[in-house]
Every structure is written in structure tokens, then in C-alpha cells.
Structure 1
């Protein structure tokens, strides 16, 4: 009797698995490309121009996608379009699928690709994302050399304009990131202090910062001044390792990405008399008329950031 019941249960489970395997729909790359374009521009008309379709065709694509997934992806009002929580979830997967599609097609159509691709990034991004990008890219295109430069975000973007770099990954304030590039991810900028430290209680406030030209420095200085908090630049360094060293020694506080505040560092905020620093964007800028090797590296960068967001259990906030 028990064996018969178990057999029936297993047969039902196998049947259900078979139904699910055959019933699950496939997502179309063109539709996902349109979805990402709308999410990034916040506008159906602008997105339609980007994907070379009419606004009505784009609306039909999104309607079909929402019906396929059984959920609403966008909130619409008279002026703008924003992602729903389900839409935010799909955005990370969509970017990853599009990058994987490009990588797969390129691998077969351009198997013998070679050359040199020049990539620039700030230290925090380079340390966080580039090792995985370089590893995966080398496995796919072993004959392409990637030349990496580390420096300040604004300098990296300028070097792309001057054709001295092919790709720049950069940090930028949220209202500037999409002006000449695309947004890959949004991060929270916070004040970091030493665990059990008291640097944030001193007057004037000792701050560890980057040199002039750093977007985090300019934003932090502006918000401290606006809040009326007296401060002094106690330490200068062009690298996050220098900022963290000053913080860990208890000699100063520093504006850092939230993901870097760990171990013997703690996050400080308004309860500690410090202004909220808000968010910043991580963007990608690719040289105009980029050749195939450059486009392939850019796709790997996009895929790496999409993976990073999914692993963290979140996606970039809609802009």
C-alpha cells in the first residue's frame, strides 16, 4: 500500500516536471533589449528610438512581456516610467541574458579575434570587478590583450573622449552618470569610521579624502558645508586603501562605498551628526565606433555587474 502510494506520488511529480519543462516560455532577446532601454531611459519614446521601433511597437512588446511573466513591470505616469519591484528583479536578469547572448554569438562568429583593448577604472571598481572580467574574457578570447589603467573616474572618461582608452568604468553622481555613458549599477555612499572610534566627534571633523577631481570628495565637501559641519582634510590619498588605513587607525572618517565598510569599520550617519551622502552610479563609457574586441570586453563588464547585483540579492535602483 505504502509502496503504491509512493509510486503514484513519484509518477505525479515526474509528470508535473515534464509539464513545466514544456510549458515554460522562452524570452525573446529583442523584447529584453527593449525592456532594458525603457528601464535606462525612463521613457517609452526615447527607448523606441534607441531600439529603432515605433512607440506603439514598444508598448506591444512590453505588454506581451508582462503577460508572459504574469506581472506588471513598469509604473507609468504622465511624465515618466519607473520599474516595479518585479521589474527591478527582471532588469538584472535581462542585462545578464543580453550579455551572455552577445558573448555566445561573438564566440562563434569571431573565434579568432585579437588585438589590444584599453580599459580604465577607479581603484575600487578595478579591485572589485576587473579580476572576474579579465578571467572570463581570457577564457573566451585568449588572443586579445586587455591593458588596464587605474585612475580617477573623470580622467578615465576624458581619456575615452581623447581615444586614449577604449572603455572607462567610472563612478559618478546620479544626475551625471548617463550623460555620456550607461548606468551599470547604483551604490550607496556612506561615512566610514573605526569601530569604537571617536574621530566623528572631533571639531573640526578630520576627514580622509581623495585628491581634487574625485566625485565623492566634491559631494562630501558640499554636503558637510551645507550642513554647517566644520571639517578639515586630515589625509589625502588617491586610493581607497589609503582612506581605509586612516579610518582604521581612528584618525579620520571617510566617504566610502557601503560595501567597503566592513570588519573593523562601521557606518556613520545622521545620528552621528553627519549628512546623508545618498547614492552614486557606476557607469560604462565605450569609445565611438568601437571594434569587435572592445565591444566584447564591454559585454563582459556588463555581465559581471549583472552577476554582482544578482549575487547581492538586489538590482540597481531605477533612475
Structure 2
């Protein structure tokens, strides 16, 4: 157990969160513009401080341990407080910021699209992003700490706008075999409450399938890692191809696309919503 003088390194925490947000060490390194070995060293530094493993190998892939899953959430809060403190005292990037929030679902496909569109229209502003649950994104919009939110699930606020829908697709590890009709379908899902989790369970139940939640994780990266390990099937929202290490499964009931909503804080520049909506409609399916 870490002693009272244990300190969590901010740089290491940023790399650790990037692993969760980007879905692996390689993509995290590309996002941070550092080497993959540097990201690995940062994670090992955190493990030394915590005194327990945060990431474990599963075949050729890796996934967060329960302690790792817990630390991701805490790390997000630490980094947000750290960055807010610097901005409050005028240290660091002195440009006006546009803070964009989105759920993890399809973030790797949609986030770059929207941030690029916003940066082109607001070249003098620093576009920052935050990944979180839909409910917490809407809470941040209400508090005014988030400028624009992209979220799925139930519509929050009369000012929300639906801009299209994300296709929902079943995936599993190569070689995964669907159980016989009498056996339940093993599912790996994000912790409740989660819209995609609910849609998966409802669709299978409606089509007469038994289900068994064999794995849960707080973040999408953990769910995908569990599916890559062959633990079960996962329902994924996205407009691109299969996640790395997974294959599409068309032998399970199709799930209708999930609507994506946009919402801006009160008094935000009205162009934010229009720019994001225009960018997203180029890749989303009709809702």
C-alpha cells in the first residue's frame, strides 16, 4: 500500500488516461506525440506509486485491472482540476478555450472531425475535449463548465438537437463461437447506467436470447479488451470499421442506430452547434 507521501505524477496520469481514451498504448503514444515506450514507463511509474498492477496482459492484448479502472476515473478529475487551476491563474495556453465533451462511443471517429471543424472557424481558440458519461456531460453544460456536448441516450434539456445516429454493431474476438440456442449469450458491457448496454440487453431479450453479463468495465477500452480476450460479445457504436482485434458478428439480431445529440451551454456562441452539426452529418446515418 502507498504511504502518506505517495504522489501521483501528472504527466504519467495524462498518459494513463490517454491509454483509456485511445484504446491502447500505441494510439495513446500517437495522440500524445511521444514514444510507446514512454507511455509504458509512465504507467509503470504509476504502478510503482500505487503498489499494484494497473494493466495486465491478456494474450497479445492488455486491459486495465480493477485498480486501473478505478484510477482512470480519479485521474480524469485530477487532470481537470490541475488544468483548471493553471488556466485560473493564467499559466499555460493563454488563448480562449472551447471545451468539447463527448461520450466514449465513436469518440475516435467523431472527436477529430468536430475539433478540426471548430479549430478552422475559431483559429484563435484552443479546442479542448473531455470524455465522460452522458449524464455528467449534461451536468457540465448546466454548470457552464462545458461549451458543447455530444451525447447519446435520453435527450437532456429542451435545447438539445439530434444530428443523426450512430450504427450499432456486434463484435467479438476472431474465432469466438456463439453458444447453442439453449445457452446464454456472454456479454461484456460498460457499467450501468449505459445506453449501449441497455440496447444490447433489450435487443437480445426481445429476440428470445438469454444473456449473461460476463464482464463489466467503467470505460470502453476495458470492454473492448475483454472482448479481444474472447470473454464474450460486445455491442459497439461507430461509423468506421471493426475495432482492432475484433470481428463483426452478423449472427446476432441487428440493433437500430442510436441517436446522437448536441447541446451547448447557455450564452455559448451559436456557431458552435451549427459547425459541429454540419461536420457530424457527413458521417452519421439519418436518424
Q: Is the 8 A contact 2:109 2:240 kept in 1?
A: no
Do structure 1's residue 218 and structure 2's residue 198 form an aligned pair? yes
Out of 221, 231, 256, which is 2:236 matched to?
Answer: 256
Gaps of 5+ in 1: 1-113, 310-315
* 1:218 Cα deviation after fit: 1.5
What is the aligned partner in structure 2 of residue 303 from structure 1?
278
Partner of 1:241: helix, strand, or coil?
Answer: helix
Q: Is the 8 A contact 1:165 1:287 kept in 2?
A: yes
What is the aligned partner in structure 1 of residue 128 from structure 2?
147
Measured at CA, do residues 236 and 137 of structure 1 come closer, stay the same or move farther in structure 2, by a change above 3 Å? same
Gaps of 5+ in 2: 1-94
Partner of 2:175: helix, strand, or coil?
Answer: coil
Measured at CA, do residues 146 and 124 of structure 1 come closer, stay the same or move farther in structure 2, by a change above 3 Å? same
What is the aligned partner in structure 2 of residue 278 from structure 1?
256
What is the aligned partner in structure 1 of residue 163 from structure 2?
184
* 1:279 Cα deviation after fit: 1.6
How is 1:98-177 mapped onto 2 (pairs within 5 angstroms)?
A: 115-172=96-153, 176=155
Q: Is the 8 A contact 2:105 2:236 kept in 1?
A: no
Give the count of matched residue pairs.
191
Measure, in 2, the Cα distance between the counterparts of 1:150 and 1:286.
16
Partner of 2:214: helix, strand, or coil?
Answer: strand
* 1:229 Cα deviation after fit: 2.5
Deviations 1:233-277 (A, max 9, x none): 2222233332222222222101112535526533334xx3x4332
* 1:302 Cα deviation after fit: 2.0
Measure, in 2, the Cα distance between the counterparts of 1:241 and 1:277.
21
Partner of 2:153: helix, strand, or coil?
Answer: strand
* 1:164 Cα deviation after fit: 3.0
User: Which has a greater percent of helix?
Assistant: 1
Measure, in 2, the Cα distance between the counterparts of 1:243 and 1:153.
18
* 1:189 Cα deviation after fit: 1.2
Q: TM-score, normalised by structure 1?
A: 0.52
In our comparison, the structure showing a higher alpha carbon Rg is 1
Q: Is the 8 A contact 2:264 2:272 kept in 1?
A: no
Out of 202, 211, 215, which is 1:235 matched to?
Answer: 215
User: How large is the Cα RMSD of the aligned pairs?
Assistant: 2.8
Out of 212, 227, 246, which is 1:247 matched to?
Answer: 227
Partner of 1:187: helix, strand, or coil?
Answer: strand
Measured at CA, do residues 306 and 222 of structure 1 come closer, stay the same or move farther in structure 2, by a change above 3 Å? closer
What is the aligned partner in structure 2 of residue 104 from structure 1?
none
Q: Is the 8 A contact 2:162 2:259 kept in 1?
A: yes
Q: Is the 8 A contact 1:198 1:250 kept in 2?
A: no
Measure, in 2, the Cα distance between the counterparts of 1:128 and 1:200.
32
Q: Is the 8 A contact 1:182 1:283 kept in 2?
A: yes
What is the aligned partner in structure 1 of residue 63 from structure 2?
none
Q: Is the 8 A contact 1:177 1:281 kept in 2?
A: no
* 1:209 Cα deviation after fit: 0.4
* 1:232 Cα deviation after fit: 2.0
